[in-house]
Amino acid sequence: MDVNIVVMGTESVGKSALTVRLLTRRFIGEYGDIESIYSHSFMVDGREVTLNIWDSPSSEDSSVETSLLEKKVQWADGYILVYSICDRASFNSISRFIQTIKSTKDYLNTDKVPIVIVGNKRDLHHRRTVLSEEGRLLALNTNCHFYEVSAAENYHSVLMAFHGLVDRMKDVKPTT
Ligand code: GDP
Ligand code: MG
């Protein structure tokens, strides 16, 4: 199985940190704001899965220029929507990404859209402004999966989020 995944979210929520953590198991702290597509393979239920992950500069997703965002949405089969638990504005922007995905892609079954919402920076709990329950409720209301993770301190949590998305993608195929 070969799938395309796009990582979206506002600036500095940890999109690159999550991607690099998945690929290298490392957290390096500082990441350039560059456009990259990474490939990563692993085994799921005895089958090799290759993920092509598009990590893009934050400025693109927040820009008024929506055509690039739509191009990314078209390219992808699955979506990781990231916010920071310390950044309320980043959480508020998640709904807009979900809207864009749902209106660009035409899913046969909207009960199981291939979207995983990720609340990152769980290690910064003393600076938390978004409750876990809020993330969970948003996911419930939009038929997405939800994970709280820490790219900085917990490789396993990051792995679970990406695996959760792959699991979801197995039974969803858009009509367009
Ligand atoms: P992007 O703009 O969404 O790609 O965000 P980056 O991946 O570049 O991360 C932005 C900043 O947040 C960097 O200074 C990272 O070191 C930091 N960061 C990312 N993930 C975490 C995390 O889980 N915990 C903490 N404490 N910092 C993080
Ligand atoms: Mg980045």
Dump strand ranges (E) for the chain.
2-8, 36-44, 47-55, 78-84, 115-120, 145-148
Residue 156 pLDDT:
97
Of residues 160 and 1, the one with the higher pLDDT is 160
- Alpha-carbon distances, residue 7 vs 32, 35, 97, 117, 127 (angstroms): 15, 11, 11, 10, 24
Residue 35 pLDDT:
85
Residue 64 scores a pLDDT above 60 = no
Percent of the chain with pLDDT over 90: 70
User: What is 14-36 written as a DSSP string?
Assistant: SHHHHHHHHHHS---S------E
Which tokens belong to 106? Answer: 């035409």
Give yes or no for a contact between 55 and 36, defined as CB atoms under 8 angstroms apart: yes
Q: Compute the Cα dihedral for 135, 51, 5, 16 and give only its sign.
A: positive
Percent of the chain with pLDDT over 70: 93
Nearest CA-CA partner of 117 in 151, 154, 143, 153: 143
Give pLDDT tens digits for 141-151. Answer: 999 999 999 99
Query: 90 CB less than 6 Å from ligand 1?
Result: no
Q: Residue 62 CA: which ligand is closest?
A: 1
Residue 107 pLDDT:
79
d(CA 132, CA 147): 9
Residue with tokens 């396993």: 156
Looking at every residue in the chain, the average pLDDT score rounds to 90
Residue 34 pLDDT:
82
Helix (H) or strand (E) holding 102: helix 94-104
Residue 123 pLDDT:
98
Query: 17 CB less than 6 Å from ligand 1?
Result: yes
Task: Give the distance (Å) from ligand 1 centre to CA of residue 168.
Answer: 26
- Of the pLDDT bands very low, low, confident and very high (cuts 50, 70, 90), residue 60 is low
Smallest CA separation from ligand 1 atom 10, residue: 12
Mean pLDDT over 21-34 rounds to 91
Of residues 150 and 36, the one with the higher pLDDT is 150
Residue 171 scores a pLDDT above 70 = no
Pairing status of strand 47-55 against strand 145-148:
unpaired
- Of the pLDDT bands very low, low, confident and very high (cuts 50, 70, 90), residue 69 is confident
How large is the greatest C-alpha to C-alpha distance in the chain, in angstroms? 44
Residue 1 pLDDT:
86
